[in-house]
Chains A and B, each alone.
Chain A
Amino acid sequence: MLEVRDLHVAYGEVRVLHGVSLTVQRGELVAVIGANGAGKTTMMKSILGLVTPDAGDIRWNGQSLMRVPPWARAAAGIGYVPEGRRVFPGLTVEQNLRMGAYPVRNPREVQAGIDEVYALFPRLAERRRQRAGTLSGGEQQMLAIGRALMNRPRLLLIDEVSMGLMPIMVQRAFDIVKSLHEQGMTILLVEQNARQALAVADRGYVLELGRIVLAGTAAQLQSDPRVQAAYLGGGSGGFHDGRPRA
């Protein structure tokens, strides 16, 4: 469904991704785990078209997305839950949801979408007329997910779903991701919280300093000693013994 091939991205002189490749099949929940600065968000932004790669290809159902602008990618069915929630703070909850349905715009479908999101997150229904900026962190995360669902995406990109949430909400956020997956949604999850991410994912990739250093099923990664050491809290060091790669 989604295929990223040998993606190179640099911000000016600073090279962030050095040839990242990954695939997401229909119905899968794929997690990309990695530390801060590994290039996770840059990879997401490249898939969305918010960052222009220097080399490589991104294919969506066999078609290259390289020359497709971000809004057209959204309309083609790639939904995005941004890092740090990034809801439209000055708009109400309901306006935020409407905005997510912009590529749809058919009033009946939009209303149906809003009702579905409210059924999924009753808290949002209670706060429908409240400005999104005044919601709690967990509620904003629900809203960000709900907004992405409004466009009925075929693939949902979720960037750091647990970032900045209270511990109790972190669990809740992953439960939401898991239940979306169980309902058949294809999801690409990018996450620092490797333990939680691998617990819900089918497959995973480990991104380190702009390279995929390991790939496998979630179970394989969970039992890999290097992953355990670096990301699952078993000791220090990583793939390169803590030394930065040249």
Chain B
Amino acid sequence: MAIPAYYVTVGIVTGIYIILALSLNIITGFAGQPNLGHAAFFGIGAYTLAILTTQFGMSFWLALLAAAVASGAVGSILGLISLRVREDFLAITTIGINFVVVSIFLYHPFFGQAFGIGGIPAPSLFGVAFGRTGFLALVAAAVLLVVWVSRRIEGSWFGLALESLREDEAAAEAAGIDTRRFKVIAFTLGTALAGLAGGIYASFMTFISPGDFTFPLSITILCMAVVGGLGTIRGPVAGAVILSLAPEIFRFVMDYRLLVYGGLLVLMMRVQPTGLLGRDSVLVRRWQRLIAHRRRPLSAS
């Protein structure tokens, strides 16, 4: 008994959003660096895979690796920029990068201009091409990889260094942390994972065009991470699931998506800045209290 194709597709798209939200979370959540152009790196990954597979006949797997590397390479440049440009100005720079990258896709013949790139092959394993279910498994594996990477970061010195960088850069430097290196690493890693998502997306869609990677998508990704809870792992996952399923259920919202997401961002910042499942959020505190209540009678007896 197969799962209906519709649900598989929704699952794949949700999974890709989870990867995007978690990869942005490494940059914005852990390291505290603004990035309003994450969709650009998603796009660089997608275009890298599309071009390498359609024009150079490269295998999907190799091209997927190249997608992550290409995206991470451009991301490391953004990381270097972040050493000189800070906070609000960095945010504006990242928006600029998003527009520049989309413009290059749109105006350079090599990238197929407005027509985009079609006929992107599906991956195959042992000579068998992936169907929808295969893609779902691939996305699930990629999500697990990104969650694993995030967890490894969270418990490590690297993660602690990123968090101190987010909290107070000068104090972090005085505590012996080479903040420049960690900024660049955070940008490189986060954008490489976005590139990975882009590669999978391109192959799944079989056709991509510049419009898939525009600034509104960057806001959507940021919104997912913020609504769920920046700086945690559960937060961006939950945010991605909620915000990618919501338009499926409320189709009519689609036309006003940006309005809704923008409003949501403002609302979250006002009432619940740590996100629904972020540290010390209302839901998390309730849950902890609930658990504490359950435990008390046991320990008392």
Q: Which residues of A contact B (CB under 8 A)?
A: 48-50, 69-72, 74-75, 80, 82, 86-91, 95, 98-100, 102-103, 105, 131, 147, 151
A82-B171, A88-B171 known; A71+B177 contact, CB < 8 A: yes
Q: Determine whether the beta carbon of B178 is less than 8 Å from that of A69.
A: yes
> Do B174 and A70 touch across chains, with their CB atoms under 8 A apart?
yes
Does A151 contact B163, Cβ atoms closer than 8 Å?
A: no
Which residue, B171, B175, B177, has most C-beta atoms of chain A within 10 A?
B175
* Contact across chains for B179 and A88 when beta carbons are under 8 A apart: no
Chain B residues with CB under 8 A of A89: 167
Set of chain B residues within 8 Å of A48, measured between Cβ atoms: 173-174
Whether B167 lies near A80 (C-beta < 8 A) is no
Contacts of B174 in A (CB 8 A): 48, 50, 70, 74, 80, 82
> Is A91 a contact of B176 with CB atoms below 8 Å?
no
19 contacts between A and B (CB under 8 A): A48-B174, A50-B174, A70-B173, A74-B176, A80-B175, A82-B171, A82-B174, A88-B168, A90-B167, A91-B164, A91-B167, A95-B163, A98-B160, A99-B164, A99-B177, A100-B175, A102-B176, A131-B280, A147-B175
**With A88-B167, A88-B168, A89-B167 as given contacts, are A95 and B173 in contact (CB-CB < 8 Å)?**
no
| Given contact pairs A91-B163, A95-B163, A102 touches B157 in the complex (Cβ within 8 A) | yes
A-B interface, 6 closest residue pairs, ranked by CB to CB distance from nearest: A74-B176, A88-B167, A103-B176, A70-B173, A80-B174, A71-B178
Q: Please give the distance in Å from B202's CB to the nearest CB on chain A.
A: 37
Which residues from B are CB-within-8-Å of A80? 174-175
Q: How far is the CA of A95 from the CA of B163 in the complex (A)?
A: 10
Interface string of B164-199 (1 = CB under 8 A from A): 101110111111111110000000000000000000
- CA separation between A11 and B173, bound complex, in Å? 20
Residues of A within 8 A of B171 (CB): 82, 86-88
A82 to B168, CA, bound (A): 11
Supply 6 further A-B pairs (C-beta < 8 A) apart from A48-B174, A99-B172, A151-B176.
A75-B176, A80-B175, A90-B166, A95-B163, A147-B175, A151-B175
Instruction: From the candidates B157, B167, B173, B280, name the one contacting A71 in the complex (CB within 8 A).
Output: B173
User: How far apart are the CA atoms of A75 and B176 in the complex, in Å?
Assistant: 6
Q: Collect the chain B residues with CB atoms within 8 Å of residue A49's CB.
A: 173
- Whether B173 lies near A50 (C-beta < 8 A) is yes
CA distance A233 to B167 in the complex (A): 38
Once the chains bind, are A90 and B163 in contact (CB under 8 Å)?
Answer: yes
Residues on the A chain within 8 Å of B237, using CB: none
The chain B residue sitting closest to A132, CB to CB, is: B167
Within 8 Å of chain A (Cβ to Cβ): is B31?
Answer: no
Interface membership of B279, Cβ < 8 A: yes
